[in-house]
Amino acid sequence: MSQQLQGFIFDLDGVVVFTDKYHYLGWKRLADTQGWQLDEALGHQLRGVSRIPALEVILQHNGVSLSEDEKHRLAEIKNEYYKAYLHDINENDLYPGAVAFVELVRERGIKTALASASKNAETVLEALRLTHLFDAVVTGNDITRSKPDPQVFLLAAERLEVEPSRCVVFEDAYSGIEAARNAGMQAVGVGERDRLPNAPLCITDYSELSLGDLIERGLD
């Protein structure tokens, strides 16, 4: 295969579905019940970060220290808040153009993977009937290390049977862009440039990308 890129790896929350908003609201509700400060700027720092490490970011920001048991208890409460938002999830929560873009990628013969730090990722994929779009799915249930560790993306590439250097990752999180780079992969930031200063390229709309050029030349 002469193409430079052979695997497209998509993060879920904030890249395919606007569940990033529900993660934030879940943490915000927990913080409010505990009297902790949490604003949108801190919320952006939680993007892509696994459940307990995300809670630890909030605790550190508020100068609070808790036992491991208490952390797990509170993280579970946030997860219940998050899952309640998922009950009403529907097509309006899809990132505009994302599904059509993944379909276009697949029509070009490129393999696709979903790689999310979320343990709820499969629930979201099934609720919105998205599972068939991906040749491989890696979720928070498959990994032990949070982004910026590259584990989630390296496992996705392994399951796609594509070399990491031939993969591009789509990510809305600073930590996720770092994880992609740590995996030796190319990375496209999805979202506003000011919160993704580490992304070589940033888009807010998938139609901004020239797919043929990206596949053939990558981002270099």
Binding positions for Mg ion, rule: CB under 5 A: 11, 13-14, 48, 172-173
Q: In angstroms, how far is CA 167 from the centroid of its own chain?
A: 16
Q: Which residue, 202 or 215, is less far from ligand B16 as judged by CB? A: 202
Catalytic residue among 13, 93, 149, 172: 13
Q: Which residue, 98 or 215, is less far from ligand B16 as judged by CB? A: 98
* DSSP symbol at 185: -
**Residue 119 site contact among Mg ion, ligand B16, none (CB < 5 to 8 Å, cut-off depends on kind):** ligand B16
Residue 13 appears among annotated catalytic residues = yes
Q: Which residue, 34 or 198, is less far from Mg ion as judged by CB? A: 198
Q: Which residues of 31-60 are buried (b: 16+ CB within 10 A; e: fewer)?
A: beeeebebeeebbbbbbbbbbebbbbbbbe
Q: Which residues form the interface with ligand B16 (CB under 6 A)?
A: 11-14, 20, 23, 46-51, 54, 79, 116-120, 140, 173
* Integer angstrom CA distances of residue 50 from 75, 100, 117: 10, 28, 6
Residue 205 appears among annotated catalytic residues = no
Residue 69 Cβ, how far from Mg ion at the closest point, in Å? 28
* DSSP symbol at 66: -
Asked if 16 contacts 95 with a C-beta cutoff of 8 angstroms, the reply is yes
Catalytic residue annotation? 11, 13
